[in-house]
Structure 1
Amino acid sequence: MIESYQLTQGDTPLLISMPHAGTALTPEVEAGLNKAALSLADTDWHIPKLYDFAAELGASRLEARYSRYVIDLNRPENDAPLYAGATTGLFPDIDFDGDPLFRDGQVPSKEEREWAKEHVWRPYHNALERELARLKARFGYALLFDAHSIRSMIPRLFDDQLPDINLGTFEERSCAPGLSKSLQAVCSDQSRFTHVINGRFKGGHITRSYGDPANHIHAVQLELSQRTYMNEPGDDQQIFAYRVDRAAEVQPVLRKVLEAMQRWGEASYSKS
C-alpha cells in the first residue's frame, strides 16, 4: 500500500492542500475501471508541479496520492451533496461528463469503499487538521489554500467556457471578507486571465469544513482552468501534457495570490 498523502511542513501560516492531484489506484478500482476511465481524465493534473514555487514562500503542502476515482477527498465522509446541480460524489461512478467509470458489475464493493475511507480519506483529513492546528498554535492563525484545476469546457457541470481563475470562499463564510477582497484585487490587477469569485465553484468540503474565520482559520479554494497551464482534450499536442509556456504565464498570478494571503494575515494579526 502506498502512502495516502505527502505532507511537507513549511514555516509560515500558509498550508496548500492538493486533494485531487493523486493518480494511484487500488487493485480493485483499477481492475473495474473501463478503458476510457483509465485515463483518469478528471484528475487535477500537475498541481504539485504548478505550485512548485510554494517552497520559496515557506508554505506547507499536503498532496494526495490516490485518485479521486478511489475516493474523493473534497467530499464529506457521509457523501452529503455540496451543489444543487450536477456533480460527482464521494465514490464517483460517473465522470464529469456523466459517462460511467466502471465496467458492468465492477463498481467497488462496500468493503473496498470502507477501506478507502479508513486508509485514504481519514488520513488526509487528519493530516490537514493536525497541520492547521500546528500552524495556528505557532502563529495564532492559519491560512488554507485548497488548490484545484478542471477542464475549461464541461457542459454537464457549467455553461460555456469556465473563467480562468475561480476563487471560492463559501460566500465569504470560510474566510474574512478582507482576505477575500485582497485576493479579488490581485486578480483584478491583471488582464491576462479571466476571474470570478464564488461563481460555479464556491468551495468544496475542505474549504467549507476547515474555514473558520471566528477561530482564526481562513480557507480559500481556487479552481483553475486547465487551459491556463496544460493541454486539454482538443489541443493538437499530447493530451494532459504540462505546458511550460502556459504555466509560465499563470504562475506569477498564482504566486501573487498566495503572497496576498500571507500579507493579509501578517497585517491582520500583527495588530492583535
Structure 2
Amino acid sequence: MQPLDVTLGDGPLVLGVPHSGTYIPVDIRERLNSLGQKRADTDWHVDRLYSDLLPGATMVRANFHRYVIDANRDPEGVSLYPGQNTTTLCPTTDFDGKPIYHEGQEPNADEIESRRLAWHAPYHAALRAELERVRAKHGVAILYDCHSIRSVVPFLFEGTLADFNTGTNNGVTCAPEFETAVFDRTRNADGYSAVLNGRFKGGWTTRHYGRPSEGFHAIQMELAQKTHLATEDLPFDYDEDKARRLRTHLKDILAALEAIAPVLADQNSKIEGAHHE
C-alpha cells in the first residue's frame, strides 16, 4: 500500500485529507484490541465528500489510518492543545481515552520513528510539493485541510460539536479574507451550526503550512459526522441525502476561496513591487 494518493489540479487550492485512510499493516493490526480494530476515529468518507467539488483543486490523501501514525500531529510529538485531552503522534488510545492496543503491544520510540519515515514524512513531502507548485503558478496557495469527527466525544469536548468547525489558529494561518469567506458561508448555511476557532483551531498541518506572509494560507475544516453519516457507529455508512445537501455548501466554500485567490495574489504582487521601487 502506497502512503498517499495525489489528484492533481491546476487551481490555487490544495485539499489535505490526512485521516480518511483505513489501511493498517498486518503487524500493527494484530496488536490492536477490538476497539483499535473498530477504527472509530477515522474521518469516514471525507475524501468522498470533497471529491470533484472543484475541478481545479488538488487533493493529497493519506491512505494509512491515523492509528498507524497521525499525519496531523507534530512529528516531534509536541501537543497541539497543551492542558487539553488529545491523541498523540502514534495514538495508543482512542478519542474516548480508551486503550487501542493489547497490553504491552504499544509502539516504542524506534517503531514510532520508523512509522514516521514510512508514512508521515512521505505524506508531508507530497503536500509541501503541491503547495509550492500551486504557489509558483498562482502567487498564493490555499491549503484546505479536510476533517470530520463524531458529534459527541466527551473526552475531547463538552456537549455536541457544531456542524462546521473552521480553524485558522485564531487568524494566524491565513489572510482574513479567506477566513471570513469560509466562516460567513458556514454560519449562514441553513439548518447547520458553525463556530470559528472553537475546540478545533487547526491541527499541526494548518499551523505548520499557514504562512500568509509567504503566500501560503491554511484553513482546517472539522465537520461533525452527523452531517454526512447514516450512523456515527458501525458500519459508519455514508448518507447520500445528507452528503448531497452538505456538498452544496462545501462547493460554495471552495469556490469562494478560489475566487479570492487571484485578487489576493494581485494585491501581494503590487505590494512586493512597491517594496522593490
Question: Given the two structures, how large is their TM-score scaled by the length of structure 2?
Answer: 0.93
Q: What is the CA-CA distance between 1:40 and the residue it aligns to?
A: 0.5
Amino acid at match of 1:94: T
The whole-number CA distance in structure 2 between the counterparts of 1:127 and 1:45 is 22
Alignment partner of 2:68 out of 67, 70, 79? 70
Contact 1:135 1:142 in 2 (8 A): yes
Q: Who is 1:255 aligned against?
A: 251
Contact 1:151 1:232 in 2 (8 A): no
Q: Who is 2:204 aligned against?
A: 205
CA RMSD for the aligned pairs? 1.3
Q: What is the CA-CA distance between 1:93 and the residue it aligns to?
A: 0.4
Amino acid at match of 1:267: V
Contact 1:32 1:108 in 2 (8 A): no
* Segment drifting more, 70-79 vs 107-116: 107-116
**Superposed counterparts of 1:1-272, under 5 Å:** 2-54=1-53, 56-84=54-82, 85-233=84-232, 239-271=235-267, 272=269
Q: What is the CA-CA distance between 1:115 and the residue it aligns to?
A: 1.8
Determine helix, strand or coil for the equivalent of 2:183.
Answer: helix
Provide the identity percentage.
Answer: 38
Amino acid at match of 2:120: W
Amino acid at match of 1:70: V
Stretches (4+) displaced over 3 A: none
Amino acid at match of 2:78: A
Contact 2:173 2:207 in 1 (8 A): yes
Give deviations 1:107-162, integer Å, cap 9, x for gaps. 12444322211110100111111111111111111010000000000011111100
Q: What is the CA-CA distance between 1:262 and the residue it aligns to?
A: 0.7
Give deviations 1:161-184, integer Å, cap 9, x for gaps. 000000000101000112111112
Q: What is the CA-CA distance between 1:186 and the residue it aligns to?
A: 1.3
Q: Which runs of 5+ in 2 are unaligned?
A: 270-277
Determine helix, strand or coil for the equivalent of 1:178.
Answer: helix
Question: Given the two structures, how large is their TM-score scaled by the length of structure 1?
Answer: 0.95
The whole-number CA distance in structure 1 between the counterparts of 2:30 and 2:111 is 12
Give deviations 1:53-110, integer Å, cap 9, x for gaps. 23x4310000001000010000011110010310000010000001100001111244
Instruction: State the aligned residue count.
Output: 267
The whole-number CA distance in structure 2 between the counterparts of 1:38 and 1:77 is 24
Q: What is the CA-CA distance between 1:52 and the residue it aligns to?
A: 1.4
Q: Which runs of 5+ in 1 are unaligned?
A: none
Amino acid at match of 1:36: L
